[in-house]
Amino acid sequence: MKILELSLFNFRNYEEEHFLPKAGVNILLGENAQGKTNLLEAIFLCCLGRSHRTPRERELIRYDQPLASVLLRCEKGDVTRSIRVSLSQEQRRRVFLDSLPVQNIGELMGQLNCVLFAPEHLSIVKQGPSERRRFIDMEISQTYPSYFYALQQYAHILRQRNNLLKAIADDPSLLKTLSAWDEQMAKTAAFLIRQRRLFLEKLSELARRNHFEISGQKEGLLLRYEPNLEDEEPASILNALESGRKRDLRLLSSQIGPHRDDFALILDGRDLRAFGSQGQQRTAALALKLSELDLIYQETGEWPILMLDDVLSELDSARQGFLLERVLPVQTFLTTALPVEKMQGAFLFLVENGHVQPG
Ligand SMILES: Nc1ncnc2c1ncn2[C@@H]1O[C@H](COP(=O)(O)OP(=O)(O)O)[C@@H](O)[C@H]1O
Ligand SMILES: [Mg+2]
């Protein structure tokens, strides 16, 4: 996949800007607060329909403006597509694919795949489970839109079920309606658990290889799925929900289900979440990111767009070299505040106060 053009209108600190990236590595060089991450955020928005930085869409609109939009033209195989996201102070964002309005954001999934690597991802190993769940969810959704729909559905069921648990506390006669939600929850949960298991098995194999290449160490990296519910059968999930019902009613929220899942990164038998040194955690995070890239390629036959936001300076030169070698076949957007050494196949753009120009 390749981005041919990115146009921004009143997006963050960009008034009107047309950026024509190159097929290889696009180095976006600029001082702090000039708009480098904003540019990546605009790309991310076109890939996944939301910002990677904020759930509040209005923050994306240039201060004091009513509207903003991002228009992206990209190439997938030999097909050219356009994705437009319109933002307004008044309504929810609207997305257009080849000028046609997208009804459910799931339709956008897989149109333009991306992998974003920012300094905060270096700590994914030691962050809380919700960050790791977000990672898995985003990744599977991009290669498998039905997963995204199931995820939306699960979130809806969970909300309804939690509301109902609270309502039952006031009106016990509502208890009889809980089973219907349990059944739906069990079905959707079963699907999510199965997909996560399959995904983590594939990712684990790629991560093991990448980790070996980066570290040169014989010790193996392994990803281990830690589902909150072991079972993948709707019937046994339903049983578990029924057994946990008393507790749910007491705590007024759903205590079990894939919304409580996690996965562990295990190096040489040790859980890196608890026992890894910072160096080991970072190497594992880098291996994980590269595996994300590999897996999208493996599943779709196309390299996703890679965005590296200020990560080079966080890595030692051996890891930097490894990373830059791996990105060669991939259209890459690399932001940096410090000039980087001349790289083969790289193009320099200068980012200054909401403008991007060839350097
Ligand atoms: N909605 C907005 N309207 C105008 N400017 C904004 C908006 N949101 C952020 N900015 C500006 O964008 C700049 C930060 O851009 P960013 O891309 O994060 O910088 P960097 O180049 O360091 O990655 C800051 O100057 C900030 O004031
Ligand atoms: Mg930045």
- Are residues 67 and 8 in contact, defined by beta-carbon separation less than 8 angstroms? no
Alpha-carbon distance values, 52 to 137, 176, 242, 332 (Å):
13, 40, 37, 17
Q: Is 33 in the pocket of ligand 1 (CB under 6 A)?
A: yes
**Burial grade of 128 (CB within 10 A; 0-12, 13-18, 19 or more):** exposed
Q: Is 52 in the pocket of ligand 1 (CB under 6 A)?
A: no
Give the residue ranges of DSSP H helices in the chain: 36-48, 129-143, 145-170, 178-215, 234-243, 245-251, 272-275, 278-300, 317-326
Looking at residue 185, what is its pLDDT? 98
Ligand 1 centroid distance, CA of 80 (Å): 30
What distance in Å separates the CA atoms of residue 161 and residue 151, rounded to the nearest whole number? 15
Ligand 1 centroid distance, CA of 173 (Å): 52
Quick one: which atom of ligand 1 is closest to the CA of 310? 23
Q: Is 13 in the pocket of ligand 1 (CB under 6 A)?
A: yes
Q: Is 319 in the pocket of ligand 1 (CB under 6 A)?
A: no
What distance in Å separates the CA atoms of residue 323 and residue 69, rounded to the nearest whole number? 32
**Burial grade of 316 (CB within 10 A; 0-12, 13-18, 19 or more):** exposed
Looking at residue 154, what is its pLDDT? 98
Q: Which two tokens stand for residue 10?
A: 């009143």
- Are residues 193 and 154 in contact, defined by beta-carbon separation less than 8 angstroms? no
Tally of CB atoms within 10 A around 107: 17
Per-residue pLDDT of 39-60, as tens digits, reads 999 999 999 999 999 999 999 9
Q: How confident is the model at residue 313 (pLDDT cuts 50, 70, 90)?
A: confident
Among the bound ligands, name the one nearest to the CA of residue 57. Answer: 1
Tokens 């983590």 found at = 200
Quick one: which atom of ligand 1 is closest to the CA of 39? 17
Averaged confidence pLDDT in the chain: 94
The length of the chain in residues reads 359
- Are residues 346 and 29 in contact, defined by beta-carbon separation less than 8 angstroms? no
**Ligand 1: which residue has its CA nearest to atom 9?**
12
Q: Is 38 in the pocket of ligand 1 (CB under 6 A)?
A: yes
Q: How confident is the model at residue 178 (pLDDT cuts 50, 70, 90)?
A: very high
What distance in Å separates the CA atoms of residue 354 and residue 53, rounded to the nearest whole number? 18
Ligand 2 centroid distance, CA of 42 (Å): 13
- Give the mean pLDDT of 131-153: 94
Kindly report the pTM of this predicted structure.
0.92
Per-residue pLDDT of 69-107, as tens digits, reads 999 999 998 899 999 999 999 999 999 999 999 999 999
Per-residue pLDDT of 117-128, as tens digits, reads 998 888 889 899
Phi first, then psi: give them for residue 325, nearest 5 degrees: -70, -40
Q: Is the dihedral of CA 354, 55, 287, 284 positive or negative?
A: positive
Among the bound ligands, name the one nearest to the CA of residue 119. Answer: 2
Per-residue pLDDT of 211-235, as tens digits, reads 998 887 766 899 999 999 988 999 9
Looking at residue 314, what is its pLDDT? 82
Among the bound ligands, name the one nearest to the CA of residue 313. Answer: 2
The closest of 303, 350, 355, 258 to 3, measured between CA atoms, is: 303
Domains of the chain, with CATH numbers? 1-113+303-359 (3.40.50.300), 122-301 (1.20.1050.90)
Ligand 2 centroid distance, CA of 312 (Å): 12
